[in-house]
Amino acid sequence: MGFVVIFRIPEEKWLTPQDTPQATPQDAPQVEQLLEICIQPLSRQEMQDRLGLKDREHFRKYYLKPALDAGLIEQTIPQTPKSKFQKYRLAQAGRNYLQNMKKGKK
């Protein structure tokens, strides 16, 4: 008979500055710009307008999808992803990422 030891890591330690590059998409500069504007929930069009991007497909492929896949932003209506009322907001991982980036720039 054996035993199991479980070590719990506090949530704020999940993304450390060393882990951040691997935990984020390759298009980090684009995603970082997106995270900085997602402090409040925004629609896809509002995000594109704030970033000055016109091409919807380019925005989806290089900004929105990588950030969603990495769990850095989340949908406000996840059960209806294609809703015309869909907005996107910063997820906890996105907040951690931004905090780590700010600490690294100081």
What pTM did the predictor assign?
0.70
pLDDT, one tens digit per residue, over 10-25 is: 665 555 544 444 444 5
DSSP class per residue in 16-36: -TTTHHHHS-S-HHHHHHHHH
Which of 1.10.10.10, 3.30.1490.100, 3.40.1160.10, 3.40.630.30 is the CATH number of 23-105?
Answer: 1.10.10.10
Question: Torsions phi, psi of 83, nearest 5?
Answer: -60, 140
pLDDT, one tens digit per residue, over 31-90 is: 888 999 998 999 999 999 999 999 999 999 989 999 999 999 999 999 999 999 999 999
